[in-house]
Structure 1
Amino acid sequence: MKKFYILILCLCSSVVFAQTLDYKKASTKEGSNYFDIVNEVRNEITLKKSTTDFTKADIKAEKQFERWAYYWKDRVDADGNFPNELLGYYNAGLINADGSLNLQNMEARSSQSQQQWMNVGPQTVPDANGYPNFPQMGRLTNFMRFTKVPASDNVLFVSAPNGGIWKSTDNGDTWAPKLDFIAGIGVTDMRSASSDANNPGTIYVSTGDYDADHIKSIGVLKSTDFGETYQSTGLTFSLADRESTSNLIVINDNTVVVGTNQHIKKTTDGGATWTNVYTHPYNDAQIGKFHSHGTNIMCADSWGGLMFSSDSGTTWSVIKSEGNSFERHSVTADAATGIFYVQAKSGQISTYNPGAMSPSLTTLGDPTTNYNPQGAYNMALVVKDGLIISGGVDAINSEDNGSVWYTTLNNAWVDNSSAGSYGHADIHEMGYLDSGYSFWAVNDGGLIYVTYPTKSEEKPQVDYISNSVLITQLYSVAISPQSEDHKIMGNQDNDGYSLEMKDGTLKWVAALAGDGTSTAIDYTNPSIRYLGAQNGALIRTDSGFANNYDGDVDVNTPSTGAPFVWTLKMNSTTPTTLYGGFAEVYKTTNKGDTWSNLNSGAGQIEYIETFGNNLFVIGANGGRKSTNDGTSWSTLTEPEALARMNSVSFNQTNPNTVYATVRGYVDGSKVFKSTDGGLTWANISAGLPNILAKQVVLKQNQSEEILFLGTELGVYYKVGTDNWLPLGQDLPNVIINDLEINYTVDKLIAGTYGRGLWEISINNSTLGVDEVELDDSTAPSIYPNPVSSGELHIKLNSATPELDYVMYNVVGGIVKQGTLVSGDNKLDVTNVSSGVYVVRMTNGKYVSTQKVILK
């Protein structure tokens, strides 16, 4: 049967999102073009929005597509060609050419900076803050439990698509990461033949991200020391393979079954060798969703087909041939009866009884009400004693063989009058837990235990178990000067977390966003905070988000044409002025009440950087700069002909000094510097592996050039003419989506995509910067401190040479500067807002940096 791939503009809007799997497969298809795909699918979305009702299912499907587009945006080359998703890992030496782990390089991260990265939370689920369907810690893909007596010593494992593997030895009270050296590689599943903590056997790991298909598999790993360390098996994939691996069936320590793009593979020698026990007629079948009962195993392909084995996966028969519907089934078996249950994308459940004289698929009841698997992003099924629970966006159950369905885990739960109990959206897997009607489920918020007192109970008890599994996927972070602990972050799937005072305690609280895509905090009043959601939506609070999860104002932004992940930037010295990246760059001078188009000519905006009146943006049409706050614009030349810019930074005291990163995998072309305002560029990429460069940041107001670079594999730094080096110790190998410098405490804040929020000290002395700090006898005296009179004094004694000074705020924005002479220097700070500031005084060699508080 001939298969037709999408990317041909469909005239029938009713099937716009029926093709979810196909655009995901585009990266493996020869000749696929990212820009064509994005344009055509977005045209389909626009068409459907204009001609029919845009349902919740459609909104979910659009979100899945836009996440896919965002993931690939920085990876494709200038012509729109797709690289391998794992190319950066290979180029960094973390995996070998055949996809096996390069264990010799796992501990080889070298850095002159010995400072430790610290995860700064949230360490546990934020205060729900009145938000009934509140955010949780992040997406998990599977769960495994090893029992022990007492149960408080049970050993638990969970896997994450960007956060690796986590282990608990105290039944989920605390967790520790076990795959941080390659965390971003993704884990689809991990399994053992045993569930006994005293004899755990060999643990096998299927890599990649089977459900979202953003990250390809490097094959199957194994651990023989109870999940502490991991090594490759004989099933590995080169970069050219672009393979997927499914969930696993582990029969014993030596016998494992797994699905790939075209094959079902089996090993009987502990993973040393693997045999193709079934070959699909198509090479993009993505065989998976395996489930077993005794020696019987059933699985599905991505084209609607079902395969069955009665001999532990040695031979296979097709019980339903593939169709042309881009459809994957979910599969499970009733442990008591051995009958398999299969659910189609339509929600229809069928049964298959291997013990029948002539086994066949038999339709059961009616299709699940309101079933939405988002293509095949979330499909899970569990059956026990006639109780059927179907997992998609929500969990929907039936106790009467599918005649009546009830929403039992409700992601839109509001109160006790709502259907079911609260359960985070997008369920990826479910299974049996304890006796009775007790189950586990992993979703986009984490791991939950779900317990029904009786089969007919529709509101189960839900317990959140993965409380300290730090796998949050950040898009953005913002900071406040009032305390280094005040922050706000925007997260994929899990809204926003805002760190602020609530009930007399500093704590993380939930804030409403959906996907939190942009953030800002007024650095003169930390109660004024902003949280953006997808496609330009924005809320503001003037009194903090504590006890106010949905803010005070739904800001009316010019959101038409905004990117899914859009950028919001606050002016560095005037916090009521903000810049938004929509279809163009817009400016507001009244905290978002009204906006004006600055007409930069950059098109849809992807990145904004600003200090004072200097404003730099990157858009669909390239880079633009303004030195008069957007009144007029000039064009930034692209630094690299083969790759477009994706971030920019500049020296606020000399905006002709500009830095830029470029997209893609052009070896040796990552970061560039211009000294003529972006007309010409010099390549300053020495020392960097050929990995994605995501964001460059200049440390402002220093005597020497200090740069930081967020990449797909952590953070690098560069001082002066030195080469780039990894920054600090203990940061997992994950994508860095946002970097911020808190100048009042000299720390770098990193928002990671899959391992939460991190910070590190960037005191110049720890970075190897060659400068001499003035000692107590020669350092200037600053008084009064705090300042409440509007007058700040800086006194230099006769032994101190003349010094230049800059006074700047938490984001590095200069509020005063000048020269200090011997004796008492009086500075008028009447017009400087209250807050915490840094005064840096230097003559180029000697330096004194002191903090001052203005009241």
Structure 2
Amino acid sequence: MKDDRFAALKSLFMLSATFMVICCLGYSMLPAGGNGFPLPMGGDEEEEELMQIRKQKYIDLIHRAAPGVNWRQVEEKNALNAWYRQKNIAGKTTTSFAGGAFNAVWYERGNDNQAGRMNSFAYLPSNNTLYAAADGGSIWRTTLPTVAWTKVADNASYNSYVLGAIPRSGTGARLLLSSGTKIWRTDNNGASFDTSAGISFPVPWGGNYIYRIIPVNDAAHTIYCVTFGWDAGSWTARFSLYSSTDSGLNFNYIRNFAYNNSNQLSFHTPLGSGTLYALGVSSAASDTLYAVNNSVVSTAGVTTSIASGDNLVDMKSMVSGGVTHFYAITGGTHIYHSTNMGANWLLKSTVGPDNSIILGLSAQSPNAVFYGNIEAHRSTDSGANWSLINTWGSYYSAVATKLHADLRDFSFFKYSSGAEFGIIGNDGGAYISNDLLATVSNLSMTGLHVNQLWDHMTSPADTNIIIGGSQDQGLQATSTGGGSGIITQQQVISGDYGQMRITGNGNILWPQYPGGNIYLYKNLATPAYVCTWSMTGTQKPNVGWMLATSDHYTSASQDQILIGGGEISGDSGSYLVRLTLPTGASTVTPFQYSYNFRLNSNNARSGIAAIGISKLSNSLMYVAAEDGTFFYSNDAGTSWTKTAAFPGVYGSYLYGSTILASVDSVNKLYYGGSGYSNPGVYVSRDHGVTFDSMSNGLPPTLVNKLAAYSNDSFIFAATEAGPYIYVKAANMWYSLAEPRTPVVNWRSVEYIPSIKTVRFGTYGRGIWDLRMDRPISYVGINTPKAAADYTIAPNPARSGAPVTVFGLPDQQITLNIYTTNGRKVFSGKTMSNSPLTMPDLPPSVYICEVNDGTIRQNSLITVN
């Protein structure tokens, strides 16, 4: 039996698999727009599977949490809270952030032309509209054949495999979506949402989710909902089936199915049919085809025809000439055809093996079958023979007419005229075909803003140059990124790229391909390949996915970075390595420091997870291990000391993903990472000897990256729960989200002083700029200190409730209250030691100024 590793990866948490494009190391790369894209390493599908497994393990690693804490459920709650917060301020444009600490405006930057993965589709002939769900959790629509994408929703992290569309009166439509364990419906293209009733998950479990929404064409206009959750009776995971006959307002439970892996049961309804079918396969029993009519489940057929070892399935169906045709790919390798309601299945061909192969079937022609993994294949003789639609590499010279690699969905629909068309989803967006995939057209050339970024950078020498490292859409670059509009970027090289660095006064780019493979480019306006350097070692950290990197500050013109190994001679251990590109050279020179961080980590088996170095003194260096162990050096890495007193390291579950050395104080640094079972950010004021929590106001989430304003008065965080800012004067984190910003994973952040912009990169909605319309400053008031000679109580105070100034002689005083940027929000007179009613103020931290003839030292008050 084929190893079923990928079935397990797909089943519990609906994390879409990522096929990696494996690049040869040591080729000459043409500038952007050229055709020198690397070929896969022999197209080795087993290597692709190993890369996929590494990525999944990396995702699990960086979301480290205590036993019993499910980070996915935590992030679902964060997304729901964000949705409610944005709903409450819908229609408003926020320009004041962090309790009035500064004014700014958000701008979506895109890009416009490098779409990410699209997973599922729905189409309504009544309004000629195609609906599409992106992997990052956003929903989109366009009319056909003229394409003009419009965002429906990105206000929640929607399950990109759950998308149902039903017609309403006239040309109206109701969309049914899922986020977490709820079904959401909208009748106005995302302007407002309501939840559906009836779906339940009696046993709390981290693997509970909505699996599919499937409308059928019966007299009752039934909508079926399939869930996957823990079953109290069998005490195992089970599929459950629900139905709605009131357009999705309420769902009623029908039954569950005895399959505990989401790839063992595949649901499909023929286009225009009133019947839902489900094919269940099991290596331990006969395989069963179920039919669901009018919310009643019956067994259509039981068979032993399917190979006994096949334990996963993808099935499609259609009706032609009164015969229902079923095709199924089982075990990632066998393609079967049945025309007698599943009693017998004829083996048509053997492909793969590849557990992530998906199947497609024409809605009109029973002989037109398709399958896809890295590349797409078509058959016109019921799967007996197959032809390749196009090689994955041909996409780069014909983006408009060739399929991108890594297929996610084949869906077939009919226009109101009755003509059939197919929609194909892959890691490069959405495609359409009107001739059963003999030819295809890219629907994602412009306007589908679903770029999935691992990292991004802006050139310090020219802020018009913006580089993005994406999920399977490669390294992307533009030299015209100024202004505030949507940018376009050219793909420089294919694959996944992250942990990027820019050196040499903005002249050399160091992007990383998974596994510690560094590709160097010069002349970033039109990137030109220089060379490649690859990390070796038998114990690469981060399960061999993206290895930690850092700048290495020597001189502005020096081309050096740091990377966390690995071991450069191929041995075991995790060592810090300095990479240097000598002036004019085309070969990188590595230098390995002598300290084995893996051996010295708290659990003696954790490699380097994050690296930091002070801009103020490059002798001060920092390293964090995968288990949260923190190390510091004050002699440029010659010797290292492990932090002894760290609240949250010993007995905690911190994965440290980012280290930010202060730009204001030589001994201060910030350390962030997984904050599900401990604070997500810490601060050290003594060069890493001790740390304090710095997480007031920050939800439990993963902190991906930190950046600082020029004097550390503000720290910016890209987190899985959204964009955040820390206001030092208030000792508080604030959300930077507003109704226009997407609820997605915010992966990267940088502050660009010359244009007063905080630039974020997201995994699913591209780049977003927070443009400050004036310098951040405190206006006309003194900085608060703890040594004020009076006390304001209660503190925290309740908005609209009384407060009292204690500790001064009985006399009339004036109490002025300011936001943290100096905007006065209240002024009132009272007697000291007597109450004064506060105004209704938004929850925040405010500065209090007391005047009793002498302006007293300012203090802080928190309003809840």
TM-score past 0.5 threshold: yes
Task: Tell me how far 1:432 sits from its aligned partner.
Answer: 3.3
Within 5 Å, which residues of 2 pair with 1:749-768?
749-762=759-772, 765-766=775-776
1:618 is aligned to 624
For residues 63 and 769 of structure 1, the distance between their equivalents in structure 2, rounded to whole angstroms, comes to 53
For residues 133 and 472 of structure 2, the distance between their equivalents in structure 1, rounded to whole angstroms, comes to 17
Contact 1:513 1:531 in 2 (8 A): no
Task: Tell me how far 1:201 sits from its aligned partner.
Answer: 3.9
Task: Tell me how far 1:142 sits from its aligned partner.
Answer: 1.4
Within 5 Å, which residues of 2 pair with 1:83-482?
83-91=70-78, 94=81, 107=90, 111-112=98-99, 113-125=102-114, 137-147=115-125, 154-168=128-142, 173-182=147-156, 184-194=157-167, 198-205=170-177, 207=178, 217-236=180-199, 240=205, 242-251=207-216, 255-261=222-228, 262-285=239-262, 287-293=265-271, 294-301=273-280, 303=282, 305-309=287-291, 311-317=293-299, 319-320=301-302, 325-334=310-319, 337-353=323-339, 356=340, 360-368=343-351, 371=352, 374-376=354-356, 378-382=358-362, 384-385=364-365, 386-413=367-394, 421-432=402-413, 438-452=421-435, 460-465=439-444, 467-482=446-461
C-alpha distance 311-106 of structure 1, shift in aligned 2 (>3 A): farther
C-alpha distance 725-506 of structure 1, shift in aligned 2 (>3 A): closer
C-alpha distance 227-762 of structure 1, shift in aligned 2 (>3 A): closer
What secondary structure does 1:72 align onto? Answer: helix
For residues 352 and 768 of structure 1, the distance between their equivalents in structure 2, rounded to whole angstroms, comes to 73
For residues 415 and 169 of structure 1, the distance between their equivalents in structure 2, rounded to whole angstroms, comes to 26
For residues 736 and 415 of structure 1, the distance between their equivalents in structure 2, rounded to whole angstroms, comes to 28
* Paired AA for residue 473 in structure 1: Q
Task: Tell me how far 1:594 sits from its aligned partner.
Answer: 1.4
Q: Relative contact order (C-alpha < 8 Å, sep 6+): which is higher?
A: 2
* Paired AA for residue 312 in structure 2: E
Contact 2:675 2:681 in 1 (8 A): no
2:563 is aligned to 580
C-alpha distance 175-106 of structure 1, shift in aligned 2 (>3 A): farther
C-alpha distance 554-433 of structure 1, shift in aligned 2 (>3 A): farther
What secondary structure does 1:519 align onto? Answer: strand
Task: Tell me how far 1:317 sits from its aligned partner.
Answer: 1.6
2:531 is aligned to 553
C-alpha distance 748-103 of structure 1, shift in aligned 2 (>3 A): closer
For residues 525 and 625 of structure 1, the distance between their equivalents in structure 2, rounded to whole angstroms, comes to 28
C-alpha distance 85-384 of structure 1, shift in aligned 2 (>3 A): same
Contact 1:168 1:175 in 2 (8 A): yes
* Paired AA for residue 155 in structure 1: T
For residues 493 and 743 of structure 1, the distance between their equivalents in structure 2, rounded to whole angstroms, comes to 31
Task: Tell me how far 1:507 sits from its aligned partner.
Answer: 5.3
C-alpha distance 428-768 of structure 1, shift in aligned 2 (>3 A): farther
Task: Tell me how far 1:78 sits from its aligned partner.
Answer: 4.8
Task: Tell me how far 1:752 sits from its aligned partner.
Answer: 1.1
For residues 670 and 767 of structure 1, the distance between their equivalents in structure 2, rounded to whole angstroms, comes to 27
For residues 187 and 699 of structure 1, the distance between their equivalents in structure 2, rounded to whole angstroms, comes to 36
C-alpha distance 499-257 of structure 1, shift in aligned 2 (>3 A): same
1:627 equivalent in alignment to 2:607: no
1:821 is aligned to none
Contact 1:258 1:264 in 2 (8 A): yes
Question: Which residue among 745, 755, 761 is the counterpart of 2:755?
Answer: 745
Contact 1:277 1:316 in 2 (8 A): no
In structure 1, the gaps of 5 or more residues are 1-13, 29-52, 126-136, 209-216, 773-855
1:659 equivalent in alignment to 2:659: no
C-alpha distance 650-693 of structure 1, shift in aligned 2 (>3 A): same
C-alpha distance 231-693 of structure 1, shift in aligned 2 (>3 A): same
Task: Tell me how far 1:170 sits from its aligned partner.
Answer: 7.5
C-alpha distance 611-673 of structure 1, shift in aligned 2 (>3 A): closer
For residues 383 and 348 of structure 2, the distance between their equivalents in structure 1, rounded to whole angstroms, comes to 4
C-alpha distance 282-415 of structure 1, shift in aligned 2 (>3 A): closer
Within 5 Å, which residues of 2 pair with 1:556-705?
556-558=534-536, 561=540, 563-572=544-553, 573-574=555-556, 575-583=558-566, 584-590=575-581, 593-603=588-598, 604-612=607-615, 613=618, 614-620=620-626, 622-637=629-644, 638-640=646-648, 641=650, 642-644=652-654, 645-652=656-663, 654-666=665-677, 669-700=679-710, 702=711, 705=713
Within 5 Å, which residues of 2 pair with 1:755-794?
755-762=765-772, 765-766=775-776
1:516 equivalent in alignment to 2:497: yes
Q: How many residues align structurally?
A: 686
Task: Tell me how far 1:578 sits from its aligned partner.
Answer: 0.9
C-alpha distance 510-673 of structure 1, shift in aligned 2 (>3 A): same
Determine what percentage of the aligned residue pairs are the same residue: 15
* Paired AA for residue 301 in structure 2: I
Contact 2:432 2:443 in 1 (8 A): yes
For residues 650 and 78 of structure 1, the distance between their equivalents in structure 2, rounded to whole angstroms, comes to 28
C-alpha distance 769-520 of structure 1, shift in aligned 2 (>3 A): farther
* Paired AA for residue 249 in structure 1: I
Task: Tell me how far 1:381 sits from its aligned partner.
Answer: 4.2
Contact 1:706 1:717 in 2 (8 A): yes
> For structure 1, which segment, 516-525 or 394-403, has the greater mean C-alpha deviation from structure 2 after superposition?
516-525
C-alpha distance 706-547 of structure 1, shift in aligned 2 (>3 A): closer
Task: Tell me how far 1:288 sits from its aligned partner.
Answer: 4.2
For residues 121 and 231 of structure 1, the distance between their equivalents in structure 2, rounded to whole angstroms, comes to 29
Task: Tell me how far 1:698 sits from its aligned partner.
Answer: 2.8
Contact 1:699 1:741 in 2 (8 A): yes
**1:514-550 deviations in whole A, cap 9, x for unaligned?**
1112322335143x323211111121122447375xx
What secondary structure does 1:515 align onto? Answer: coil
For residues 768 and 512 of structure 2, the distance between their equivalents in structure 1, rounded to whole angstroms, comes to 21
For residues 372 and 723 of structure 2, the distance between their equivalents in structure 1, rounded to whole angstroms, comes to 38
What secondary structure does 1:332 align onto? Answer: strand
**1:717-767 deviations in whole A, cap 9, x for unaligned?**
122231211126432121122112222222212111111111213577457
For residues 549 and 721 of structure 2, the distance between their equivalents in structure 1, rounded to whole angstroms, comes to 25
For residues 476 and 95 of structure 1, the distance between their equivalents in structure 2, rounded to whole angstroms, comes to 23
**1:769-791 deviations in whole A, cap 9, x for unaligned?**
7789xxxxxxxxxxxxxxxxxxx
Task: Tell me how far 1:169 sits from its aligned partner.
Answer: 5.4
C-alpha distance 104-570 of structure 1, shift in aligned 2 (>3 A): closer
Task: Tell me how far 1:335 sits from its aligned partner.
Answer: 5.6
For residues 369 and 185 of structure 2, the distance between their equivalents in structure 1, rounded to whole angstroms, comes to 33
1:487 is aligned to 466
2:516 is aligned to 536
Question: Which residue among 706, 716, 738 is the counterpart of 1:708?
Answer: 716
1:72 is aligned to 60
C-alpha distance 359-533 of structure 1, shift in aligned 2 (>3 A): closer
1:58 is aligned to 46
Contact 1:747 1:763 in 2 (8 A): no
